[in-house]
């Protein structure tokens, strides 16, 4: 596994992230699938390494000139979403600060089955009672490498391409879970996914918080209404 450094954020031609790496644990145990190589079948399928996504939030207006936040920035800093210059507000109406944003954590599991790629995501420390969606990205060699435009080959909703399988609601304590299958075929925004995501050189899953509490099917929504908060990276074989 290549060590995670940065995780690309959705729907941007130029992206960067501030990351908080945790220990990584991966295990084998993929389900049998026709047409999948033995090397892929033996590949790890589980990760507890995640990245905090900070590229699309800033700590002051105007956001165009505000410096990027890092995990070392003041936790009391109030957040603004940069695409719409809107405050990042929680479902109860208060403006979210950096400390709240960085409490998110999680783990991800990927298994190749006959119906496609089965992904199970578990989250904690999310904003309570909030609407989230999850998006997938795939990269050709040499991977993200700080340049998602050149190497990104696929982008879209996790699960069915119409976005019916990538939505979840966090609990009152900020817990969340999503289990869905991405079938082989076109993704909702760019490119396509094969029968097994582990056939890709590199792929990522990113959870976006919907500030307005609304989802928009195969796309995240209008600028200013969502912000990516946490993501996971996997290497294929």
Q: Is residue 85 part of a domain?
A: no
pLDDT score at 32: 36
Q: Tell me if the pTM is above 0.95.
A: no
Q: Is residue 45 part of a domain?
A: yes
Strands 105-113 and 46-47: antiparallel
CATH number at residue 126: 2.60.40
Q: Is residue 18 part of a domain?
A: no
pLDDT score at 45: 66
Q: Is residue 202 part of a domain?
A: yes
pLDDT score at 237: 66
**Rounded to an integer, what is the distance from CA 31 to the centroid of its chain?**
24
pLDDT score at 14: 32
pLDDT score at 2: 38
Indicate the number of domains in the chain. Answer: 1
Alpha carbons 13 and 36: distance in angstroms, whole number: 32
Q: Is residue 166 part of a domain?
A: yes
Q: Identify the domain containing residue 201 by its residue range.
A: 38-53+105-235
Q: Is residue 195 part of a domain?
A: yes
For the chain, how are helix, strand and coil distributed in percent, rounded to 5? 5, 35, 60
Mean pLDDT by 10-residue block, N- to C-terminus, for the chain (237 residues)?
40 35 28 42 62 95 95 98 96 98 97 94 98 97 78 96 97 98 97 95 96 98 97 88
Alpha carbons 163 and 216: distance in angstroms, whole number: 8
pLDDT score at 150: 81
pLDDT score at 145: 76
Q: Is residue 73 part of a domain?
A: no
**Is the N-terminal amide bond of 85 cis, ω within 30° of 0?**
no
Q: Is residue 10 part of a domain?
A: no
């Amino acid at each position: 596994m290549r060590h995670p450094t940065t995780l690309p954020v959705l729907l941007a031609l130029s992206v960067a992230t501030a990351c908080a790496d945790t220990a990584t644990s991966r295990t084998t145990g993929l389900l049998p699938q026709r047409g999948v190589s033995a090397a892929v079948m033996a590949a790890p399928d589980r990760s507890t390494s995640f990245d905090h996504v900070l590229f699309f939030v800033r700590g002051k207006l105007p956001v165009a000139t505000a410096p990027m936040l890092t995990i070392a920035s003041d936790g009391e800093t109030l957040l603004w979403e940069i695409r719409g210059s809107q405050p990042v507000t929680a479902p109860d109406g208060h403006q979210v600060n950096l400390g709240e944003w960085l409490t998110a954590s999680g783990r991800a599991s990927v298994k190749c089955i006959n119906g496609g790629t089965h992904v199970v995501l578990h989250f904690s420390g999310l904003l309570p009672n909030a609407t989230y969606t999850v998006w997938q990205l795939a990269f050709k060699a040499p991977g993200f490498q700080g340049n998602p435009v050149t190497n990104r080959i696929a982008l879209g909703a996790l699960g069915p391409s119409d976005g019916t399988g990538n939505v979840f609601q966090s609990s009152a304590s900020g817990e969340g879970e999503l289990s869905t299958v991405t079938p082989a075929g076109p993704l909702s925004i760019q490119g396509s996914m094969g029968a097994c995501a582990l056939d890709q050189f590199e792929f990522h899953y990113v959870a976006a918080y919907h500030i307005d509490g609304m989802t928009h099917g195969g796309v995240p929504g209008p600028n200013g209404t969502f912000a990516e908060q946490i993501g996971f990276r996997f290497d294929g074989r």
